[in-house]
Amino acid sequence: MMHLAAFMNAGPQGTAGWRHAEASPDFLRARYYTDIARMLEAAMFDMVFIPDALAMPRSLGGTFDPAVRWGSGTPRLDPMPVIAMMAAVTRHLGIAATLSTGYAQPYHVARAFATLDHLTEGRAAWNVVTSFQDAEAQNFGEASLPPRAERYARAEEFLTAAARLWDSWADDALVLDKASGIFGRPERVDSIDHHGPYFGVQGPLSVPRAPQGYPVIVQAGASPAGRDFAARWADVIFCSHESLQTAIGFYADMKQRAARHGRDPAQLKILPAATTVIGATQEEAIRKHNDFEDLVTPEAGLSRLAYHVNVDLTKYDLDGRLPSLAEVGVEGHYREVVEFAEREQLTVRQIGKWYGARTEGDMIGAPGEIADRMENWMEQGAADGFMIQATHLPGAFSDFAAHVVPELQRRGLLRTRYEGQTLRDNLGLRRPERGEWRARAAR
């Protein structure tokens, strides 16, 4: 069964999505998000996923002006109240928000997601990031990000402490016996007394154990350190690939890494990005994509790319080739760019135009053609489902829901009703036992 997640900003969509004739300008209003949530649930999506960063991008020319001028990455609303509003108007749709382990504390994050999981009856998911821009560090009293190895070491300890906090209440700790006056069993609630290189947390958490045990963990690391971190902790991996062959290799590698960590590989769901452009025919879909591409300026695409790789691209010859970069922010995006640019022999300026309008997964076509490609990716061992990305909102999601979803359902690839109450139920993930993640962290 194919799993579907919807990738959308808490703000304008993509580099040029805000310029699309059918794009809504209402991304600062609650109804924009609640209407999309209802649409996604009607289309049987597993979850909505909201990325985030804690800064306005400053990677192109050392200023945030390009990002504002071309809309490449700003503004971004706080995702937590946004997903809470989306959850309030739905019953089954999972809600995933991004929070950084670099600029938060385990107690705060554990409490927020445990609360959200209770209030949604088990639909919360946390996209774990380590931050990838120096601009984020500069909003928290640092000149630059720590080295990648240190960021992942902090993230490992962060997840370990959060897991212990989520475990600090046993499932049967609450009694709520009005007749006897017994509220709970104190012997079933534990302090965690965590002391490590990065965090000191006494505990216990102030929120009882959540319906899912732990929120669903989403991760997108593509570097060797990121892959190993995801193989240990993630329930869902969001990835992006320039070709089917690289997707197959990544899928196999991540399943093998999960097995080496003592996990059941089937309990790790891999969802590659798929940017769908849908027409009544292939020709109409291509025409729609070309019209969208015309909205993208090279500067906007380069601003977005500079934001992702955390490198100022204006110091290079824009009409020359992209040089090899030793240290980048989002390594997965950088590898995709290198793969495509080398194959097509693109200049840096041409890369900007392509990157601003690129559609992951080659999902441009009539509904049946898109369903064919999705089915092929799953049959070839490249995906457990897809992270659907939109050129503009809400139109791109509504096109997918109206035209591709019925075709997937007709083929028996997509549910026609939700299987269970919680996000773990609908993803086919079992509920972890108390203490299970502590054992995982110790491996």
Q: How confident is the model at residue 441 (pLDDT cuts 50, 70, 90)?
A: low
- 62 pLDDT exceeds 70? no
Q: What are phi and psi of 360, to 5 degrees?
A: -65, 140
Q: What is the pLDDT of residue 301?
A: 76
Confidence band (pLDDT; 50, 70, 90) for 266? very high
Residue 35's pLDDT band (boundaries 50, 70, 90)?
Answer: very high
Among the residue ranges 91-95, 150-154, 435-439, the one predicted with the least confidence is 435-439
Residue 328 — very low, low, confident or very high, per pLDDT cuts 50/70/90?
low
CA–CA distance, 131 with 145 (Å, rounded to integer): 8
* Closest of 268, 285, 200, 196 to residue 231, by C-alpha: 268
> What is the length of the chain?
443
Q: What percent of the chain has pLDDT over 90?
A: 70
Mean pLDDT score, 320-333: 68
Tokens (6 digits) for 382: 């490249």
Digit-coded pLDDT (tens) for 364-377: 999 999 999 999 99
Summarize the confidence of residues 400-414 as an average pLDDT.
98
Q: Quick one: pLDDT at residue 443?
A: 62
Q: 245: buried, middle or exposed (CB in 10 Å: 19+, 13-18, 0-12)?
A: exposed
For range 55-66, the mean pLDDT:
71
Residue 162's pLDDT is 97
Which range is least confidently modeled, 48-57, 78-87, 99-108, 280-289?
48-57
Average pLDDT over residues 352-358: 73
Q: With a cut of 80, say whether residue 329 has pLDDT above it.
A: no
Longest dimension (CA), the chain: 78
Q: How many other CB atoms sit within 10 Å of the CB of residue 430? A: 12
- The C-alpha atoms of residue 88 and residue 97 are separated, in whole angstroms, by 15
Burial class of 349 by CB neighbour count within 10 A (0 to 12, 13 to 18, 19+)? middle
Residue pair 169/188 in contact (Cβ under 8 Å)? The answer is: yes
Alpha carbon separation from 336 to 30, 32, 204, 262, 299 (Å, rounded): 34, 32, 43, 30, 19
CA angle 45, 48, 54 (to 5 degrees): 165
State the average pLDDT over residues 251-269: 96
Q: How far is CA 224 from the centre of its chain?
A: 18
Domains and CATH numbers, the chain: 3-283+363-442 (3.20.20.30)
Angle, helix 348-357 to helix 331-344, in steps of 10 degrees: 120
Question: Cα torsion at 217, 221, 222, 224 (round to 10°)?
Answer: -100
| Residues 159-189 pLDDT 10s | 999 999 999 999 999 999 999 999 999 999 9
Mean pLDDT computed over every residue of the chain: 90
For residue 183, give the 3-state DSSP assignment: strand
| pLDDT of amino acid 59 | 64
442 band by pLDDT with thresholds 50, 70 and 90: low
Phi and psi at residue 2, to the nearest 5°: -80, 135
Confidence grade of residue 351 (pLDDT, cut at 50, 70, 90): confident
- Average pLDDT value for residue range 272-294: 93
Which pLDDT does position 243 carry in this prediction? 86
Question: What's the pLDDT tens digit per position in 215-237?
Answer: 999 998 777 888 999 999 999 99
Distance in angstroms (rounded) separating the CA atoms of residues 349 and 351: 5
DSSP state letter for 386: E
Average pLDDT over residues 383-405: 96
pLDDT of residue 294: 86
Burial class (CB in 10 A: 0-12, 13-18, 19+), 118: middle
Highest-scoring range by mean pLDDT, 14-18, 23-27, 51-55: 23-27
Q: Check residue 382 and report its DSSP letter.
A: S
